[in-house]
């Protein structure tokens, strides 16, 4: 009957209840939109820089990550790939041999990043074919290169032109050769467009005098949240004296730090929004207590304990908060999914800023249900905190004084 | 056997000038009495009833209900005490507005943690006894003042209290409703030996009381016992 009383009490002042619920509803919607946009952009950043380039997890020669040069490459021994691929959460394994090189046309030279790659597997991870804007995609045995379109532009190169690559090979070998440009690539990141040179793996290993050697095995996993487990499992299966296993959170510490700092900012903004709403709820709760003093006095007089009275009042506020959150969620879920599939495109000015940070200029909403759950728990927690003072007032009710009110 | 006893009961309100609302009241009420406390406004009737009902604390003296000196109870103990020993009928009915007649009567028994079967049976019995068997599902806002006060009487009786305190129970009722209510209360008093203690100005109530205690300036100035026909 206490539940029944709480429910009916809620609708005694239906207009006021509706206004309070509407304010919570909009707070939830705005908070869900803000947080989903934030998390959506983080997903995009991680996808752009991690999933679609580095891979969520990598295996290197032990010590490579701290000293990234060609002598610290791993030897792709028989059985290594099979051991890694045997892990149920590893979807794809992509071998790479990377090295900084000098790209030269003779009079014109620029720094570049050579990537020796497996064309088929690299495409499966990075969707490299989709980034080809001119020319042809390389096969595994081709002797040619694909370069970032800005590198070609700066060096005044076109498809069919020859580019000389110079650098240091394995164990101090001099590496230089010339390759025809067969394709131009366009990445989301301007930096990649200015630097990247792709050469089929076997040819790159030959160029760098590093047969069967790799800088990394990059891998795609079933889910970004399993990387810790994958790293831990692979560390038990691989010789950690020879290999190091790292996930993106270790390799992209700067990105992770940026996300965490930015997320904290977003959460603070969200809480500021909720604090504003909290005053509205607090006002409603205080009014509910003060205008029902007489009634509380009567109820205590006939034998209702103050804690039962407080429980009814708390139930009223929890009902109101739950209904608002539920309504917010019912609207928020389709909103998340709609804007996830139809991301908001940013204008030209904003697009330039985003692209400078290697992020596509779109705002997709994350569909993470955790965001909605967070709003629900935040509103409920806030309700409990707000109710402390009104409930204290209930415990202070003296029936005879209340009935004189 | 007295079920209510006060000894040198005093209540002083300390304002600019201290006012002795109840001033040394010694009183005994026996089981089954139908007593009216009368007196002019400000004579201390309501204050005396509030102290006897455990709603207010005396400045001095003691109140016993049965063997219990309720002056010694804490506020929380008083809530339990009232629930199990005292039924209240207020001038303004004071039903819980969001509950129906049936739920209002049942509510106090729910607070006593009585079984569902017992609650339902007693609610039905009491609402029929006050002549409201057909209005069980109506909320107070859909009932007349007289009907609401009859529900209040049923609610006061529901927890099987030691006695019923009624503060000006007929003040807001018309003649017919007053007569009906008094008939019901007198009937309950006669047939079930329920003890009633009223404060009232209403001559119709005074006429039906078998004992009339007159207060003036917080003191009992007259205590009259009468034989009433058809009371």
SS (H, E, C) chain B: CEEEEEEEEEEEECCCCCEEEEEEEEEEEECCCEEEEECCCCCCHHHHHHHHCCCCCCCEEEEEECCEEHHHCCHHHHHHHHHHHEEEECCCCCCCCCCCHHHHHHHHHHHCCCCHHHHHHHHHHHHHHCCCHHHCCCCHHHCCHHHHHHHHHHHHHCCCCCEEEEECCCCCCCHHHHHHHHHHHHHHHHHHCCEEEEECCCHHHHHHCCEEEEEECCEEEEEEECCCCCC
Q: What is the average pLDDT across B54-61?
A: 90
In a domain, B133, yes or no: yes
Between A133-137, B76-80, B126-130, the lowest mean confidence (pLDDT) is in B126-130
- Which residues on chain A are in Cβ contact (under 8 Å) with B58? none
Q: What is the average pLDDT across B48-68?
A: 90
- What whole-number distance in Å separates Cα of residue A399 and Cα of residue A403? 6
Sheet containing B86-89: order of strands:
B86-89, B163-167, B195-199, B34-38, B211-216, B219-225
Q: Which residue range is the domain that position B23 belongs to?
A: 2-225
The rounded Cα A3 to chain-centroid distance in angstroms is 41
Domain total in chain B: 1
Return the pLDDT at B176.
83
- What whole-number distance in Å separates Cα of residue A146 and Cα of residue A123? 13
Residue of B88, B103, B111 lying closest to A301 (CB–CB): B88
Q: A396 — contact with chain B (CB < 8 Å)?
A: no
Cβ neighbours, 10 Å, residue B117: 8
In a domain, B51, yes or no: yes
Contact (CB, 8 A) for A252 and A114:
no
CATH of the domain at B195: 3.40.50.300
Q: What is the ipTM of this complex?
A: 0.86
- Which residues on chain B are in Cβ contact (under 8 Å) with A5? 96, 98-99
Question: Which chain A residues in 129-158 lie under 8 Å from chain B, judged by CB atoms?
Answer: none
In a domain, B30, yes or no: yes
B167-180 pLDDT, tens digit per residue, is: 888 888 788 888 88
Q: What is the average pLDDT across A60-68?
A: 91
Is A168 in a helix, a strand, or coil?
Answer: strand
In a domain, B230, yes or no: no
pLDDT range class, residue A104, cuts 50, 70, 90: very high
Cβ neighbours, 10 Å, residue B171: 17
Q: Who's near A403: CB < 8 A, 6+ residues apart?
A: A294, A297, A298, A301, B55
Does residue A80 register a pLDDT over 80? yes
Contact (CB, 8 A) for B29 and B53:
no
In a domain, B191, yes or no: yes
pLDDT range class, residue A135, cuts 50, 70, 90: very high
Q: A295 — contact with chain B (CB < 8 Å)?
A: yes
Cβ neighbours, 10 Å, residue A262: 14
Does residue A253 register a pLDDT over 90? no
pLDDT range class, residue A356, cuts 50, 70, 90: low
Between A386 and B133, the higher pLDDT residue: A386
**Could you tell me where the DSSP H helices lie in A146-226?**
149-154, 190-195, 201-207
Return the pLDDT at A358.
59
Q: A315 — contact with chain B (CB < 8 Å)?
A: no
**Integer CA distances (angstroms), A184 to A150, A198, A303, in order:** 9, 10, 84
Closest CA to A112 of A70, A136, A147, A144: A147
Q: What is the average pLDDT across A16-28?
A: 84
Helix pair angle (A369-386, A306-341), 10° resolution: 150
Contact yes or no for A1 and B108 at CB 8 A: no
Contact (CB, 8 A) for A287 and A16:
yes
In a domain, B90, yes or no: yes
Residue of A1, A305, A400 lying closest to B55 (CB–CB): A400
Return the pLDDT at A311.
93
In a domain, B231, yes or no: no
- What whole-number distance in Å separates Cα of residue A349 and Cα of residue A303? 68
- Which residues on chain A are in Cβ contact (under 8 Å) with B78? none
pLDDT range class, residue A9, cuts 50, 70, 90: confident
Tokens of A123: 């495409």
């Amino acid at each position: 009957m206490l539940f029944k009383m709480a429910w009916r009490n809620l609708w005694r002042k239906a207009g006021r209840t509706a206004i309070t619920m509407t304010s919570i509803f909009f707070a939830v919607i705005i908070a869900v939109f803000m947080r989903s946009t934030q998390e959506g952009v983080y997903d995009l950043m991680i996808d752009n820089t991690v999933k679609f380039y580095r891979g969520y997890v990598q295996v290197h020669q032990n010590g490579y990550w701290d000293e990234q040069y060609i002598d610290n490459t791993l030897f792709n021994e028989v059985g290594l790939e099979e051991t890694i691929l045997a892990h149920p959460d590893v979807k794809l394994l992509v071998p790479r041999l990377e090295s900084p090189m000098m790209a030269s046309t003779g009079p014109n030279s620029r720094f570049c990043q050579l990537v020796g790659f497996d064309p088929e597997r690299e495409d499966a991870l990075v969707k490299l074919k989709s980034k080809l804007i001119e020319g042809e995609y390389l096969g595994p045995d081709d002797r040619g290169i694909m370069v970032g379109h800005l590198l070609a532009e700066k060096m005044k190169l076109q498809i069919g032109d020859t580019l000389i690559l110079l650098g240091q090979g394995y164990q101090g070998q001099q590496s230089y050769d010339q390759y025809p440009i067969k394709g131009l690539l366009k990445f989301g990141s301007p930096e990649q467009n200015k630097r990247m040179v792709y050469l089929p793996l076997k040819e790159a290993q030959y160029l760098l005098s590093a047969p069967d050697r790799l800088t990394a095995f990059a891998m795609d996993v079933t889910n970004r949240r399993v990387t810790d487990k994958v790293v831990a499992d692979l560390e038990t299966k691989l010789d950690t004296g020879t290999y190091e296993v790292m996930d993106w959170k270790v390799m992209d510490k700067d990105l992770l730090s940026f996300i965490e700092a930015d997320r904290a900012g977003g959460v603070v903004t969200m809480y500021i929004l909720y604090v504003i709403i909290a005053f509205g709820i607090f006002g409603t709760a205080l009014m509910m207590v003060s205008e029902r003093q007489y009634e509380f006095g009567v109820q205590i007089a006939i034998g209702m304990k103050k804690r039962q009275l407080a429980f009814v009042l708390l139930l009223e506020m929890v009902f109101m908060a739950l209904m608002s959150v539920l309504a917010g969620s019912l609207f928020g879920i389709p909103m998340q999914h709609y804007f996830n599939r139809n991301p908001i495109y940013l204008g030209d000015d904003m697009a330039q800023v985003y692209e400078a940070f290697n992020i596509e200029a779109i705002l997709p909403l994350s569909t993470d249900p955790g965001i909605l759950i967070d709003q629900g728990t935040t509103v409920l927690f806030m309700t409990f905190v707000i109710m402390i003072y009104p409930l204290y007032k209930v415990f202070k009710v003296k029936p005879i004084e209340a009935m004189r009110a | 056997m007295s079920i209510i006893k006060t000894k040198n009961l005093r209540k002083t309100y300390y304002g600019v000038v201290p006012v002795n609302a109840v001033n040394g009241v010694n009183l005994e009420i026996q089981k089954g009495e139908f007593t009216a406390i009368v007196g002019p406004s400000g004579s201390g009737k309501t204050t005396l009833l509030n102290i006897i009902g455990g709603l207010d604390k005396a400045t001095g003296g003691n109140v016993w209900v049965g063997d219990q000196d309720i002056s010694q109870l804490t506020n929380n103990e008083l809530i339990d005490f009232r629930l199990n020993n005292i039924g209240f009928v207020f001038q303004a009915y004071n039903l819980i507005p969001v509950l129906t007649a049936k739920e209002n009567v049942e509510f106090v028994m729910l607070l006593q943690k009585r079984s569902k079967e017992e609650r339902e049976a007693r609610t039905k019995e009491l609402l029929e006894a006050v002549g409201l068997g057909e209005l069980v599902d109506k909320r107070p806002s859909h009932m007349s003042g007289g009907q609401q006060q009859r529900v209040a009487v049923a609610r006061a009786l529901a927890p099987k209290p030691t006695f019923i305190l009624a503060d000006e129970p007929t003040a807001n009722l018309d003649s017919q409703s007053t007569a009906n209510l008094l008939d019901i209360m007198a009937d309950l008093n006669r047939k079930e030996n329920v003890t009633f203690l009223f404060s009232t100005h209403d001559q119709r109530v005074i006429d039906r009381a078998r004992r009339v205690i007159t207060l003036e300036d917080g003191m009992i100035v007259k205590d009259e016992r009468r034989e009433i026909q058809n009371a």
